[in-house]
């Protein structure tokens, strides 16, 4: 076989392998959020992050928590990526899973990073998880309805392709921008200092509660995209709600993208700004809302919440 033929076959093989890859608030979205955060770190936080990550950027490690899904030691952490908050509830009033959730995991990872007793290896892993989960917290369907698993069970048609609503928000709309993560981050990062400070107020639970507020619109077809009885029928041209238990097929195309783009961009930006705020507070020793939040969440419990610590500590021991 000639060298040129071998190279061509190799190229075709690589194209075949990567053709179906989804860059999930997956790869690009998490990197956008992390890159924005890096631009807003104070000197102490920047130095601490560089020390923990060995000079790697936040964007570089922003997806490692997803990569650990294939690590058997971290299978117990699957519940850390989301919280179930049904309509009419807040995070605090919602039923808490014994397996943990994204808010409780963030409280735990922040506690590790603040502790003088945590090892360097444990702090490094906690930082990677915190970076990723603050990104997840700002994807509205990661704080979703329990009935359709945050949109995973709600089938939609995205530009003629069958998929689910969660995937549309995780990756499809972000990839539609056709920008690198640095270009997208720079495009979004235009807030004033006052706006940045205001966004960094609040706790993880407060930020989680932003998702149910915008949920109804996320589950709405817009304009000529339409909701249809099936994919081939004429669709309604008015705004129509849909859900996983509806007999309507949601066709999501340009009208949906244009309607939801401001929310998508807002959430990516907020995630980055808030990640920076959390890291700045941690590494300067500033007070955190997390301690009060943890106390409020479990003040009526006879035993402390150990879902995150039980999983993470055992996983770190076995790695």
The mean pLDDT value of the chain amounts to 88
**Between residues 305 and 192, which one has the greater pLDDT?**
192
Mean pLDDT of 223-239: 73
Please tell me the chain's helix, strand, coil percentages from 3-state DSSP, rounded to the nearest 5: 60, 5, 35
- Which pLDDT score, from 0 to 100, does residue 304 have? 67
Most distant CA atoms of the chain, gap in Å: 73
Instruction: Identify the burial level of 169 via C-beta atoms within 10 angstroms of its C-beta, where 0-12 means exposed, 13-18 middle and 19 or more buried.
Output: buried
Its pTM stands at 0.88
The closest of 214, 218, 223 to 242, measured between CA atoms, is 218
The closest of 56, 42, 29, 202 to 128, measured between CA atoms, is 56
Instruction: Convert the pLDDT of each residue in 86-136 to its tens digit.
Output: 999 999 999 999 999 999 999 999 999 999 999 999 999 999 999 999 999
pLDDT higher than threshold 60 for residue 13: no
Q: What is the 3-state secondary structure (H, E, C) of 141-199?
A: HHEECCCCCCCCCCEEEECCEEEEHHHHHHHHHHHCCCCCHHHHHHHHCCCCHHHHHHH
**Between residues 295 and 273, which one has the greater pLDDT?**
273
Mean pLDDT of 295-303: 72
Res. 230 pLDDT band, cuts 50 70 90:
low
Q: Which has the minimum average pLDDT: 26-30, 129-133, 170-174, 223-227?
A: 223-227
Instruction: Convert the pLDDT of each residue in 43-71 to its tens digit.
Output: 999 999 999 999 999 999 999 999 998 89
| Residue-range domains of the chain with CATH | 23-318 (1.10.575.10)
Res. 301 pLDDT band, cuts 50 70 90:
low
Mean pLDDT of 15-40: 70
- Which pLDDT score, from 0 to 100, does residue 280 have? 98
Res. 22 pLDDT band, cuts 50 70 90:
very low
Instruction: Convert the pLDDT of each residue in 248-290 to its tens digit.
Output: 889 899 989 999 999 999 999 999 999 999 999 999 999 888 8
Instruction: Convert the pLDDT of each residue in 202-227 to its tens digit.
Output: 999 999 999 999 999 999 988 777 78
pLDDT higher than threshold 90 for residue 38: yes
């Amino acid at each position: 076989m000639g060298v040129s033929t071998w190279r061509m076959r190799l190229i075709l093989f690589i194209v075949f392998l990567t053709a179906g890859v989804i860059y999930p608030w997956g790869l690009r979205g998490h990197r956008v959020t992390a890159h924005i955060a890096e631009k807003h770190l104070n000197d102490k936080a920047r130095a601490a992050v560089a020390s923990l990550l060995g000079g790697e950027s936040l964007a570089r490690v922003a997806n490692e928590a997803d990569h650990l899904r294939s690590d058997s030691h971290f299978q117990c952490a699957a519940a850390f990526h989301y919280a179930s908050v049904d309509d009419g509830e807040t995070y605090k009033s919602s039923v808490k899973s014994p397996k943990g959730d994204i808010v409780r995991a963030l409280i735990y990872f922040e506690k590790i990073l603040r502790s003088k007793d945590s090892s360097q290896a444990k702090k490094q892993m906690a930082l990677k998880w915190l970076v990723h989960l603050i990104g997840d917290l700002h994807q509205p369907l990661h704080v979703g309805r329990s009935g359709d698993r945050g949109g995973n069970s709600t089938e939609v048609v995205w530009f003629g392709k069958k998929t689910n609503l969660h995937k549309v928000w995780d990756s499809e709309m972000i990839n539609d921008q056709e920008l690198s993560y640095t270009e997208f981050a720079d495009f979004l990062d235009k807030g004033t200092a006052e706006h940045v400070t205001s966004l960094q107020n609040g706790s993880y639970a407060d930020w989680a509660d932003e998702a149910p507020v915008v949920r109804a619109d996320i589950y709405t077809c817009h304009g000529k995209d339409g909701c249809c009885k099936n994919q081939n029928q004429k669709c309604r041209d008015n705004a129509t709600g849909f859900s996983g238990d509806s007999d309507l097929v949601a066709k999501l195309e340009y009208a949906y993208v244009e309607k939801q783009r401001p929310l998508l961009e807002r959430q990516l930006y907020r995630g980055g700004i808030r990640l920076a705020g959390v890291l700045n507070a941690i590494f300067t020793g500033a007070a955190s809302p997390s301690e009060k939040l943890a106390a409020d969440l479990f003040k009526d419990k006879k035993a402390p919440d150990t879902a995150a610590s039980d999983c993470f500590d055992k996983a770190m021991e076995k790695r």
